[in-house]
Amino acid sequence: AAGVIQSPRHLIKEKRETATLKCYPIPRHDTVYWYQQGPGQDPQFLISFYEKMQSDKGSIPDRFSAQQFSDYHSELNMSSLELGDSALYFCASSRRQGGETQYFGPGTRLLVL
Amino acid sequence: RKEVEQDPGPFNVPEGATVAFNCTYSNSASQSFFWYRQDCRKEPKLLMSVYSSGNEDGRFTAQLNRASQYISLLIRDSKLSDSATYLCVVNSGTGGYNKLIFGAGTRLAVHP
């Protein structure tokens, strides 16, 4: 079965640079979620989108923005990167109607030097 | 105080042992509950949903006590492959939207 696809899987950036993470949900899933998991931490909810509209917002820094496109894929844009942004970024997807289970992608490991 | 609290462990148990994990949540309006499993450096994977009536999936049994805002996971006949971090997860979304709040996870190490 198709799973959530994230790209890139690994990313190394320097402070103050920008990064764009991409997420391709499971086919027919209309909702995507972004989570950040720091070393030794639990995943923290950042933001979610349903049908291309932001549906909820968590602890996402103002330096980050995200959007969902017409094909339901989503991108997380991160600017002015800081050392503390180094983390695993997971995308999850679900269907809003008839199912709430979120399926996670393999994550993008971001390292900011 | 975190919205979802778990004992971080680690729980070190021999193969074949029975182990129980507990979790409490603070948002009484939460509607759905899950246990996810996470292996090192991998994504969380849904282990099972948790219902008030309790549910069982093979060696795994989950229970929910809404009055006490308490969730449990019981693993019987532990296998080496059960070694992982178990995340207690609460859906705190409203209006039909889902927002998962994760506990810090309980580490389980099963040894021969």
List beta partners, residue A92: A33, A104
Best residue in A30, A32, A42 for a mutation probing chain B (most B CBs within 10 Å):
A42
Query: Which residues from chain A sit within 8 angstroms of residue B30, using beta carbons?
Result: none
Amino acid at B2: K
Say whether A31 and B32 touch across the interface (CB within 8 A): no
Average pLDDT, chain A: 93
Q: What are B68-102's pLDDT values in tens digits?
A: 999 999 999 999 999 999 999 998 776 667 788 99
Q: What are B35-62's pLDDT values in tens digits?
A: 999 999 899 999 999 988 889 999 999 9
* Number of A–B residue contacts, CB under 8 Å: 56
Copy the structure tokens of residue A11.
Answer: 């990313």
Provide the 8-state DSSP code for A96: S
Amino acid at B56: E
Copy the structure tokens of residue B84.
Answer: 């992982």
CB–CB of B27/B1 below 8 Å? no
